[in-house]
Structure 1
Amino acid sequence: MEDLKKISVQKNNDGTELDVFNPTPYKLIGKGLQGAVFKVSDDRCVKVYVDEKYCTMERNALEAGQNSNIVPHMFEVGPNYIVMEYINGESLRDYLEKYTTFPYSMTKRILSLFHQMEKVGYKRIDANLRHIYVVNGGLKVIDHVNSLSINRTAPIKFLKGLRKRRLMGSFLEQVKELDYERYSKWKKALREHYGIEY
């Protein structure tokens, strides 16, 4: 895809945001500190990275997970971009808006997701609520730049997102019932490393 080379993504002067130059017809659908994502078709998007090292890191993480059903499928990799599956689903952040307690069936799916992330070999067993998508009865996770480099066995970002929505308590009570060992590990990590008592 020759026109992908026309897209430029770089950090602004203070390094807190991305400046995007996009002379292509591809719609910008998201951006973070490492890159910007553009929709290229109904089933594909492209992530263009600020630095080639981030592209390499995410490519390696996505390659590790290609045999699972929890990460986007990759179609093409360039020096600073990856064309991957466009996840057509609802983010978990939006999905949970209608709930006042965490849905029990979703707790089972989240535990299965984290277990699959471990099986893939990811070191960071965590994700923002906005990076987990509910699709066809399953879950997919996007943004894997740090999945192989950051060692986090307790899903701190995930739990903080639930805490903000007052759903952490009901979720952890269900985890306690379904997987006590994991619950104990997460509770200890929350207390010792982040000062969060549950």
Structure 2
Amino acid sequence: MKTKFKMIVLLSFSALIYYSCAPPDAFLLNRKEPVQIYGLIMSDLESVEQVRDNALYLLPGTMVALKVESITQLAADFTCELRDGEGITFAFRTISDNYEQQNKITFEYTTNGCIVRENNRLITKVDSIKAVPNEQKLIRILNEGKAYSITVDCDTVVKARTELCATEYVIIKSLKGTEAVLSGIDICDVKDKFIIQLK
């Protein structure tokens, strides 16, 4: 009995030390799942709030980096609900260090439509798929080998190929004046979730 009590005290103390020493800009999603998502706030700490184990509330100017260790061939799901403003940008095949100078594929999901760019070069623009305020839409990014695809609900925004290196990161940025909720956040190895053929 005393040993059990000592173990509980030791574990509680260890958890207290760990959480008090964690950097304030770091967070963890899907804590109870086999695969956790590591988050890094790249903007003001108050610009994003973790509202559930797999949900974030984004304020204007939010920039967060999400990653799962060692997974570069990824399937990333986000249920996006735009509350106010223009929209959100998702970036992948990039890294958080010196983000603005890095190579990247960006996907702008806005009330005016969707735009995909590779290093600022336009890949596609789709006016018919757009964010509707207060409506939830499932955004799915599949990234495998040299191929990638982006869908919103059942609508395909793009299927394309790239020479950019795959990375672990998905970086999310809220556009000017945008407030949004991202829920159902899941990032996993594409082979664990889907059997896909991207040409």
More helix by share: 1
- RCO greater where, 1 or 2, for CA within 8 Å and sep 6 or more? 2
More strand by share: 2
Q: What's the TM-score bracket when you normalise by the shorter of the two chains? A: under 0.3
Query: Normalization by structure 1: what TM-score?
Result: 0.26
